[in-house]
């Protein structure tokens, strides 16, 4: 569970970028954060992750193993331990394109093994099997040995989700995971994120209110650094106008029908596994 209380971030001139942000995300919830550009959505996630230091307030993570982390103040080893328990899904995928798909998935657990093991041995066959199962959950197991750079954008985001799943986190954080995808791939990715919340809470930043209305259990809207709405994901046009203002027409778009088959790439296999990264990752899953 994640509990955020009075999160505040100010510029040197005193202007508040975040002004008392407070909310809670529990297991079973898929919470979407909406707001116009510059409202403070992604900044909120950065403060939770510790990538940006908040000026005031707290963000507390209750991990699955019972440990509690105060995310806005923990540093060093404490911060590394906390980040191990958060599976982050980025807009830009953050994958190593020259590596195989399955290797990128296993990167998600690098922080959980000793550095010497990562260089000299890598992952076990059992861990490789777990990574393959994570790929199966996102319908990408057939591409386990493909070079990641040969995949489409939608396929790369599926791999990024599999990496987060393999990490076995206590919380999923998704920072605009469908912003760079076409509507059809966006819909497919949302259908993959939704069931994750049944076992682990999901907090995501989105620019697509029609998607959050369809898939999220709850929506939080941020405007000028403050929460102006927290509740039912289905918002009226008047509510969206209040949240987005003149930007509303840029974010509204129809939701397409889900394609009958998983998105696949017709591009050919390019390249082989780069063996120049000794011990970084595992043997090929069999």
- Please state, rounded to an integer, the average pLDDT across all residues of the chain: 85
Q: Is 163 left (phi over 0), alpha (psi -120 to 50) or beta?
A: alpha
pLDDT of residue 234: 96
Share of the chain above pLDDT 90, in %: 64
Q: What is the mean pLDDT of residues 127-152?
A: 93
Alpha-carbon distance 125 to 113, whole Å?
15
Confidence of residue 278 (pLDDT cuts 50, 70, 90): very low
The pLDDT-based confidence of 259 (bands split at 50, 70, 90) is low
Q: Does the pLDDT value for residue 279 go beyond 50?
A: no
CATH of the domain at 73: 3.40.50.300
Q: Which of residues 272 and 101 earns the better pLDDT score?
A: 101
Confidence band of 156 (pLDDT split at 50, 70, 90)? very high
- 122 Rama sector, left if φ>0, alpha if ψ -120 to 50, beta otherwise: left
pLDDT above 80 (res 6): yes
Distance in angstroms (rounded) separating the CA atoms of residues 189 and 185: 6
Look at residue 237 and tell me if it is in a domain: yes
pLDDT, mean of residues 6-22: 94
Task: Indicate whether 267 belongs to any domain.
Answer: no
Does residue 258 sit within a domain?
no
Dihedral (CA of 47, 35, 206, 218) sign: positive
**259 or 103, which is more confident?**
103
Residue 261 lies in a domain: no
Domain that includes residue 247, residue range: 2-251
The pLDDT of residue 274 is: 38
Predicted pLDDT of residue 118: 62
The answer to whether residue 212 is domain-embedded is yes
From 263, 2, 10, 3, select the one nearest 154 (Cα to Cα): 263
pLDDT of residue 212: 95
Chain-centroid distance, C-alpha 196: 11
If pLDDT is split at 50, 70 and 90, which confidence band does 252 have?
A: confident
| Residue 185 within any structural domain of the chain | yes
Q: Is residue 193 part of a domain?
A: yes
DSSP, collapsed to helix, strand or coil, labels residue 70 as strand
The domain tally of the chain equals 1
Note the pLDDT tens digit of each residue in 86-137.
999 988 888 999 999 999 998 887 766 666 666 656 778 888 899 999 999 9
Amino acid 53: pLDDT: 93
246 vs 56 pLDDT, higher one: 56
Backbone angles phi, psi at 197, to 5 degrees: -65, -20
Q: Is the pTM of this model over 0.75?
A: yes
* pLDDT tens-digit series, residues 67-78: 999 999 988 888
pLDDT (0 to 100) of residue 257 = 54
Ramachandran sector of residue 91 (left: φ over 0; alpha: ψ -120 to 50; beta: rest)? alpha
Q: Rounded to an integer, what distance in angstroms lies between the CA atom of residue 228 and that of residue 31?
A: 15
**Residue 79 and residue 264 in contact, taking contact as beta carbons nearer than 8 Å:** no
Query: Distance between CA atoms of 120 and 196, rounded to whole angstroms?
Result: 33
180-190: b (≥16 Cβ within 10 Å) or e: ebebebbbbbb
**Would you state the pLDDT for residue 219?**
97
Using one digit for the tens of pLDDT, what is the confidence trace for 209-245? 999 999 999 999 999 999 999 999 999 999 999 999 8
Instruction: Report the pLDDT value the prediction gives residue 243, as an integer from 0 to 100.
Output: 93
Residue at 43 is within a domain: yes
């Amino acid at each position: 569970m994640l509990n955020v209380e009075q999160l505040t971030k100010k510029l040197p001139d005193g202007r508040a970028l975040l002004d008392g942000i407070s909310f809670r995300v529990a297991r079973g919830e898929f919470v979407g954060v909406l707001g116009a550009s510059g409202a403070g959505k992604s900044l909120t996630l950065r403060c939770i992750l510790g990538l940006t230091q908040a000026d005031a307030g707290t963000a507390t993570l209750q991990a699955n193993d019972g440990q509690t982390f105060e995310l806005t103040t923990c540093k060093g080893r404490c911060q590394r331990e906390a980040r191990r328990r958060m599976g982050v899904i980025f807009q830009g995928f953050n994958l190593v394109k020259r590596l195989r798909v399955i290797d990128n998935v296993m990167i998600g657990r690098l922080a959980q093994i000793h550095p010497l093991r990562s260089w000299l041995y890598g992952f076990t066959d059992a861990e490789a099997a777990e990574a393959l199962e994570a790929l199966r959950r996102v319908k990408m197991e057939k591409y386990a040995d493909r070079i990641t750079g040969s995949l489409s954008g939608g396929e790369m985001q599926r791999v990024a989700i599999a990496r987060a799943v393999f990490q076995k986190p206590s919380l999923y954080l998704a920072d605009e995971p469908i912003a760079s995808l076409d509507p059809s791939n966006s819909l497919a990715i949302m259908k993959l994120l939704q069931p994750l919340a049944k076992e682990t809470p999901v907090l995501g930043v989105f620019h697509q209110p029609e998607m959050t209305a369809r898939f999220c259990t709850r929506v939080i809207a941020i405007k000028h650094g403050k929460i102006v709405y927290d509740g039912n994901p289905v918002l009226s046009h008047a509510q969206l106008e209040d949240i987005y203002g003149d930007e509303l027409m840029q974010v509204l778009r129809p939701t397409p029908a889900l394609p009958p088959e998983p998105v696949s790439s017709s591009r050919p296999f390019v390249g082989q596994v780069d063996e120049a990264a000794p011990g970084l990752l595992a043997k090929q899953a069999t």
